[in-house]
Amino acid sequence: MPAGRPRGLQLDPATPSPVRQGVVDIRSRGRAQLPSHLMSSLTWVPKPKQSIEALAVLEPGYLFIVPWKTEGLKVLARRADLIALSEKDSEALFLLTELENRYKRIEISSDYRVTLSSEITLHLELSDSEDSRAFAFLVKDRIELHSKSYHEQMLEAKGSVFDDLP
């Protein structure tokens, strides 16, 4: 976030929401600063702050970040099963390709910095060589990053829910 620019007020400070929003500035070569006001609310991030591994789950234009210790280990177990099956089963080899494409281990530093691989920035529809921005959300106990195009698609798809509001 640019220095001196306020985050904005909570919509209703008296009733905190399990969803909060921010912006992630992603520098060239994938360096990103995850918003501290979102990260500090995650129950699985150590306090006092220290680096931590996490699992990034990728979809086109979107990713979410969850704890490695619980979710990452499930992915590793499924990966091991697919590797064992892949020598005799072409479907397992295809599924292993899909798993390797969808799940990435990342490290979040103690100051909430992360370097996103080329595969991750490609999934987010961002350039590796230019500075970019993405929407960040705290949704319960995970972080989500949305590309601008994904975010616009979601707003269009959900827009009619709020037709009775200004």
Tell me the per-residue pLDDT of 133-145, one tens digit each, with 9 for 90 and over: 999 999 999 999 9
| 10, part of any domain | no
Give the integer Cα–Cα distance in Å for 61 and 146.
6
Q: Which residue has the tokens 């929003």?
A: 21
Q: For a pLDDT cut of 70, what percent of the chain falls above it?
A: 95
| 129, part of any domain | yes
- Segment holding 47, helix H or strand E: none
pLDDT-derived band at 148, boundaries 50, 70, 90: very high
| 79, part of any domain | no
Q: What is the pLDDT of residues 97-115, one digit of tens each?
A: 999 999 999 999 999 999 9
> By residue range, what is the domain housing residue 62?
20-67+103-158
pLDDT-derived band at 67, boundaries 50, 70, 90: very high
Q: Which two tokens stand for residue 145?
A: 């990053």
